[in-house]
Amino acid sequence: METMFASLTSSGITVSSFLICSLVALLCGALIAFTYTRRTRFTQSLVLAVILLPFAVQTVIMLVNGNVGTGVAVAGAFGLVRFRSAPGNAKDISVIFVAMAVGLACGSGYIALSVLFTVIACAVLYLLVFFHIGADRSGEKELSITIPESLDYTEVFDDIFKEYTTHAELTEVKTASLGSLYKLHYRVHLADDRNEKEFLDALRCRNGNLEVRCGQPHTPVEQL
């Protein structure tokens, strides 16, 4: 069992060892990318990067081959690279780090270890996404209501909120259409999500069928 986790390149780099490491790196990268695209948003550029990154890192590690000076030079070269695309979120960066770790393992010749690590990382990633670990389950919604200036917005919807919500908080008021309209923004918790349409219909009847919007609360884009 221990020999399975021995380095394939411990006795030197050969053409066969390079091809085996490269193939495993590409397959592991493809598996990570495939898992990442399940039940989550993704872009083609990120998928291609995750597939190729283990192979690229593996090749660099093989070229360094334990030479500290070369390793420092390569690290400095990579430090000069600036990504011109929009910054990724924390999940994207985490997947990139996983792909880099696989490339490091393959470049060091630890084929079995890289495959085992990939399988465990993909399984954990899929389960975390599948069970919505860390997702916001507070049930809070952001409500926007447009009313004519003739309505007093301070108490006009209190009875509707009392019937359909457990909590409603007015967070912002602003005027529109040269002051002829008011736009009200609330944070609400619905008592029963199944009554959302009935709730919106009641609001439309009260505000003269002007615009009513209800959705998930706006949160800043997560970046690293």
Domains in the chain, CATH or no CATH each = 2-130 (no CATH), 140-215 (3.30.70.2690)
CA pair distance 25, 106, nearest whole angstrom: 6
Q: Looking at this protein, which amino acid is placed at residue 117?
A: F
- As a whole-number percent, the residues of the chain with pLDDT over 70 amount to 83
Span between the terminal Cα atoms of the chain, in Å: 39
- Calculate the average pLDDT of the chain: 84
CA pair distance 130, 88, nearest whole angstrom: 21
Half-sphere exposure of 77 (CA within 13 A, CB side): 8
pLDDT digits (tens, 9 = 90+) for 80-103: 554 444 556 778 888 988 998 998
Cβ pair 59, 47 in contact under 8 A: no
Cβ-proximal residues to 145 (8 Å cutoff; 6+ apart), any chain: 157, 183, 184, 186, 203, 207, 210, 211, 212, 213
Tokens of 121: 């990382």
pLDDT digits (tens, 9 = 90+) for 106-161: 988 899 999 999 999 999 999 988 887 876 656 789 999 999 998 988 889 999 99
Q: What is the DSSP letter of 30?
A: H
If you average pLDDT over residues 158-168, what whole number do you get?
A: 93
Q: Which residue in 222, 215, 208 sits closest to 185, CA to CA?
A: 215
CA pair distance 9, 111, nearest whole angstrom: 10
pLDDT digits (tens, 9 = 90+) for 18-57: 999 999 999 999 999 999 998 777 888 889 999 999 998 8
Pick the residue with more confidence: 194 or 5?
Answer: 194
How are beta strands 140-148 and 165-176 bridged, if at all? unpaired
The per-residue pLDDT for 84 is: 45
